[in-house]
């Protein structure tokens, strides 16, 4: 639709999409270009599962605790989060602006015996089409879009009243430049140079302000902290200096307009 296309042009950065499309075939190689995400994924999943379980009163000891929940994984890449969410019972839509990611994700899901609705589309197009979800996973995407406020507003529109958005990104600090750009791209060569732009990183306070302006209520934020000695990640309530994650909810009822 024309409106969705116009909106998408203001938020999708073609250069950012091209970077990830070029790496699409390597999504499921734990030693490839997405090694950092494979290492981080268990920590991300722990946080996501805890937030969904708390918000929707689900018992994580059940085989499929997220049964009955419709979940959107925006910027799904190769499906590193979509697949475990489907295994936990959610009805999953995986969306990505990079067309090359979708067949990679779909083939892997088919090989894994999972039913996931993968689409080459954007948050804005989905919102324009009236799609609604209980949960929106918005992980490591907001730092790659051209207009974070418009993008987060589209994510808010995609949530049902009472819905939950989990959003992670990178803090704009000297430490994040040293670790995420110089360390990961130059020293370790985990990612191609230019994958990240430090100027696009967003501080936690800035992200909370964007989320609130979009119409959501922030309820939590934690840091993802890398331990180079143990080569492992953990959650921290205090250290948000590099990678961090937030949870926010959509009011169950719209506030009445002031008289």
Q: How confident is the model at residue 65 (pLDDT cuts 50, 70, 90)?
A: very high
Q: How confident is the model at residue 21 (pLDDT cuts 50, 70, 90)?
A: low
Torsions phi, psi for 21 (to 5 deg): -65, -35
Give the closest residue to 81 by CA, choosing from 137, 133, 134.
137
3-state SS assignment for residue 196: coil
Q: What mean pLDDT value characterizes the chain?
A: 86
Can you tell me the mean pLDDT for 108-129? 95
Q: What is the DSSP letter of 68?
A: T
Can you tell me the mean pLDDT for 69-85? 96
Question: Which range, 18-22, 61-65, 197-201, has the best average confidence (pLDDT)?
Answer: 61-65
Can you tell me the mean pLDDT for 228-248? 92
Q: How confident is the model at residue 35 (pLDDT cuts 50, 70, 90)?
A: confident
The reported pLDDT for the residue numbered 184 is 53
Q: What are the tokens at 231?
A: 């080569």
Q: Could you read off the pLDDT of 99-115 as tens digits, one per residue?
A: 989 988 999 999 899 99
Q: How confident is the model at residue 168 (pLDDT cuts 50, 70, 90)?
A: very high
* Greater pLDDT, 41 or 180: 41
Q: Could you read off the pLDDT of 169-193 as tens digits, one per residue?
A: 999 988 876 666 544 553 344 555 5
Domain boundaries, the chain: 2-249
Can you tell me the mean pLDDT for 233-255? 90
On whether 62 is known to bind a ligand per the annotation, the reply is: no
Q: How confident is the model at residue 196 (pLDDT cuts 50, 70, 90)?
A: low
DSSP string, 69-126: -EEEEET-TTTTTHHHHHHTT-EEEEEES-TTHHHHHHHHHHHTT---EEEE--HHHH
Residues of the chain with pLDDT > 90, as a percent, come to: 63
On whether 110 is known to bind a ligand per the annotation, the reply is: no
Query: Rounded to an integer, what distance in angstroms lies between the CA atom of residue 248 and that of residue 246?
Result: 7
- Assess contact for 200 and 143: CB atoms under 8 A: yes
Q: What are the tokens at 45?
A: 């999943």
Options 3.30.420.40, 3.40.50.150, 3.90.1640.10, 3.40.50.920; CATH of 2-249:
3.40.50.150
Report whether pLDDT(71) > 80.
Answer: yes
The reported pLDDT for the residue numbered 240 is 95
The reported pLDDT for the residue numbered 118 is 97
On whether 44 is known to bind a ligand per the annotation, the reply is: yes
On whether 96 is known to bind a ligand per the annotation, the reply is: yes
Question: Which range, 32-41, 60-69, 183-192, has the best average confidence (pLDDT)?
Answer: 60-69
The reported pLDDT for the residue numbered 182 is 41
Q: What are the tokens at 136?
A: 């929106």
The reported pLDDT for the residue numbered 154 is 97
Q: Convert 28-49 to b/e letters by CB count within 10 Å (16 or more is b).
A: beeeebbbbbeebbebbeebbb
Report whether pLDDT(5) > 50.
Answer: no
Can you tell me the mean pLDDT for 195-206? 81
Report whether pLDDT(92) > 70.
Answer: yes
């Amino acid at each position: 639709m024309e409106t969705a296309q116009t909106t998408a042009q203001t938020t999708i950065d073609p250069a950012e999409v091209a970077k990830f499309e070029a790496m699409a075939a390597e999504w499921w190689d734990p030693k490839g270009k997405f090694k950092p995400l494979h290492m981080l994924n268990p920590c991300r999943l722990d946080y996501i599962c805890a937030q969904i379980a708390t918000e929707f009163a689900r018992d994580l000891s059940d085989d499929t605790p997220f049964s009955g929940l419709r979940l959107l994984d925006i910027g799904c890449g190769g499906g590193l989060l979509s697949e475990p969410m489907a295994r936990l019972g959610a009805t999953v839509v995986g969306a990505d602006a990079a067309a090359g990611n979708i067949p990679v994700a779909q083939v892997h899901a088919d090989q894994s015996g999972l039913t996931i609705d993968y689409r080459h589309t954007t948050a804005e197009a989905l919102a324009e089409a009236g799609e609604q979800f209980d949960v929106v996973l918005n992980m490591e995407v907001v730092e790659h879009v051209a207009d974070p406020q418009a993008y987060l507003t589209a994510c808010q529109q995609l949530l049902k009243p009472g819905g939950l958005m989990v959003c992670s990104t990178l803090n704009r600090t000297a430490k994040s430049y040293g670790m995420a750009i110089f360390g990961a791209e130059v020293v370790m060569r985990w990612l191609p140079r230019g994958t990240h732009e430090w100027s696009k990183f967003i501080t936690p306070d800035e992200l909370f302000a964007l989320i609130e302006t979009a119409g959501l209520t922030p309820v939590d934020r934690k840091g993802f902290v890398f331990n180079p000695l143990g080569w492992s990640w953990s959650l921290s309530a205090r250290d948000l200096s590099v990678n961090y994650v937030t949870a926010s909810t959509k009011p169950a009822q719209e506030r009445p307009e002031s008289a």
